[in-house]
Amino acid sequence: MIKFLDLKSINESYKNRFSEVFDTFLDSGTYMLGQQVEGFEKEFSQYCNTKYCIGVSNGLDALCLIFEAYKKLGKLKEGDEVIVPANTYIATVLAVSRAGLIPVFVDPNYNTFNIDIHKIEAAIGQRTKAILGVHLYGQLFNVEVLERLCKEHDLLLLEDAAQAHGAVYRDGRKAGNVSNVAAFSFYPTKNLGALGDAGAITTNNRELAEIIFKLRNYGRETSYINSFRGYNCRLDELQAAFLRVKLNYLDQDNKQRQQIARRYISEISSELIELPVCENLEEHVFHLFVIKTRSRDDFKDYLLRNNIESSIHYPVPVHQQKAYAGSNHLSYPITEKICDEVLSIPVNQLLREKEVDSVIQVISNYKTI
């Protein structure tokens, strides 16, 4: 069986280094916001080429802290609107709602899955204060256009970079450094994954970073002195230690994913399958390789019969979720079509060449019943 993702095997290769850093962590006697978190923040900010990195508890908390910090700065207030892609994981939208802000959905481009740049301007209104772009499945959103729109309309540009660790824009900037501020998730399945929940925020804005550093730790200025009503959203010291090990291999792992994706795009041949569109592989790190087919259930069963696991990301759009019942009456036809057709196939650094060969052959031989 070709697994969709084998986390045990992926992390097995780091086992000896994990043991070493665990011993260092245990011997340190400092188990919260110690040298490992500080070390990871420094190394990840250098990796993204940003001035600041704040380690936090997970990707959702990263987004929530960003919005709360901008409220403290007076850049946002409850009732303001934030443009978000309709085609995204619900966490993106939850962060907007939790801050008392109003998400305004925009349909994606059917080919790239990312927010449709031609539909954004029509969604900008008097209460619009920010665009929250998502690098979905690992592909950067159209940075040039979103930067221009935000400049023209005096909007904040925020990144949900939870799936795009290491993606590089054409001018050399990485995910995490193509906006005012970015949120990362290091959930175990990510290209840079911890062994539990973890996240980070990157920015070049000193004032914003200083507020977030405080907010993640109860709003604390110094011991027992609190500037804000903050939160407990700290990056775990042990997860930071594990992430420091894996960060050294992120570019290498991403290149392997890109090589597999290149083969899929050039060698899979089936009239029943639509492959993802990617003009520049450097801008896509293939957290997921997502194809489209109008006979998804049949195709998924076909893959399984041929010993290939697959997964669906995501079958129900946010605006149709019970959690967003107030938006259930809205229609975003491209998002809904994508949600009915997408299927993710295996793409990770552990896939062997013969397994890639098999995936290509099986998909190319697919015919509906």
Which residue bears the tokens 């299927």? 343
User: Where do the H-state alpha helices sit in 84-141?
Assistant: 90-98, 117-123
pLDDT in tens, 207-248: 999 999 999 999 999 889 999 999 999 999 999 999 999 999
What single letter denotes the amino acid at residue 63?
L
pLDDT band at 281 (very low <50, low <70, confident <90, very high): confident
Q: How far apart are the first and last CA of the chain?
A: 23
Beta carbons within 8 Å of 258's beta carbon, 6+ residues apart: 281, 282, 284, 285, 286
Beta carbons within 8 Å of 72's beta carbon, 6+ residues apart: 211, 215, 228
Helix (H, G, I), strand (E, B) or coil at 114: coil
pLDDT in tens, 312-346: 999 999 999 999 999 999 999 999 999 999 999 99
pLDDT value at position 222? 87
pLDDT value at position 166? 98
Query: Residue 187 pLDDT more than 70?
Result: yes
Phi, psi of 56 (to 5 degrees): -135, 180
Cβ atoms of 40 and 244 within 8 Å: the answer is: yes
State the Cα–Cα distance between residues 20 and 343, nearest whole angstrom: 38
Which residue bears the tokens 């993204």? 48
State the Cα–Cα distance between residues 59 and 184, nearest whole angstrom: 5
Maximum C-alpha span of the chain: 68
For residue 233 the two structure tokens come to: 């959203």
State the Cα–Cα distance between residues 149 and 112, nearest whole angstrom: 19
pLDDT in tens, 131-162: 999 999 999 999 999 999 999 999 999 999 99
Peptide bond into 314 cis (omega under 30): yes
pLDDT in tens, 110-134: 999 999 999 999 999 999 999 999 9
pLDDT band at 369 (very low <50, low <70, confident <90, very high): low
Share the mean pLDDT of the chain.
Answer: 97
Mean pLDDT, rounded, for 65-79: 98
Cβ atoms of 137 and 286 within 8 Å: the answer is: yes
Query: Residue 348 pLDDT more than 90?
Result: yes
Give the chain's domains with CATH numbers.
7-106+115-247 (3.40.640.10), 250-364 (3.90.1150.10)
For 326, left (φ over 0), alpha (ψ -120 to 50), or beta? alpha
Query: Residue 279 pLDDT more than 90?
Result: no
% of residues, the chain, pLDDT over 70: 99
Cβ atoms of 312 and 297 within 8 Å: the answer is: no
